[in-house]
Structure 1
């Protein structure tokens, strides 16, 4: 069974190794890709159909019915903003559809605070060999395929 993971934001795909945070760059929480987001206000969307199992102003995890969980982290160290600049549209425990708006934010505002707006998209606890069809670095629109989880 293969599951397509969608890009949560519009921007430019970059390898996880280029994320300016060693926890993500070294895939300590799992493999995936990152997006350097477009610098305008917009919505981060659900990467898969599932249930919101973790929800913070700056990050969320959506778990599918078969237990696959995907983490979307809006920026690096953005937890230090204590929710400032993020508007949530869902609640923990809510069922969501891939592409559904989750959080509104403005990457340009994040950047002006001195934090990186880069967004890791992580296949939680997945062996790296379970990912395929990884999108090449370059432009991506929110809701387009990012990678597959086999």
Structure 2
């Protein structure tokens, strides 16, 4: 069974190795892609349908109904903002549809605070070879296909 992973934000896709954080750039938590977001206030949406397993203002994990778990991290070191500038629209444990609004945030404000706004989208605990159709160097809008996780 495979899981189609959609983009949680609008922007330009890039390799995880471009993320200025070794946890992501070295794929320590799993393989995936990163998105350099477009500026201004925006909604981050669920990349897959499933259940909200982890929810912080700056990051969330959705466990797909097909089994895989996808982490979306809104910027790097944004935990240091302590939720400032992030508005949550769901709660941990909620069932969500792909494309459903999870967090409203502003990448431009994140950068104004001195943090990178790049967004890793990671297939947690997956093997790199289980990802297919990775769309690097592509402009995406929320919901556009990023990659497929083959179980």
TM-score, with structure 1 as normaliser: 0.98
Work out whether residues 33 and 136 of structure 2, in 8 Å CA contact, stay in contact via their aligned partners in 1. no
| In 2, Cα distance between equivalents of 1:14 and 1:112 | 22
What does 1:1-150 align with in structure 2 at a 5 Å threshold? Answer: 1-150=1-150
| In 2, Cα distance between equivalents of 1:42 and 1:136 | 21
Give runs of ≥4 in structure 1 deviating > 4 Å. Answer: none
| In 1, Cα distance between equivalents of 2:108 and 2:62 | 25
- Secondary structure of 1:110's counterpart equals helix
Q: What value does the CA root-mean-square deviation take over the aligned residues?
A: 0.7
| In 2, Cα distance between equivalents of 1:129 and 1:57 | 30
Measured against aligned partners, the alpha-carbon deviations of 1:94-129 in whole angstroms (never above 9, x if no partner) come to 000000000000000000000000000000000100
Residue 2 (structure 1) shift: 1.6
Residue 147 (structure 1) shift: 0.2
Measured against aligned partners, the alpha-carbon deviations of 1:40-77 in whole angstroms (never above 9, x if no partner) come to 10100000000000000000000023431000000000
| In 1, Cα distance between equivalents of 2:88 and 2:76 | 18
Name stretches of at least 5 consecutive residues in structure 2 with no aligned partner: none
| In 1, Cα distance between equivalents of 2:75 and 2:143 | 18
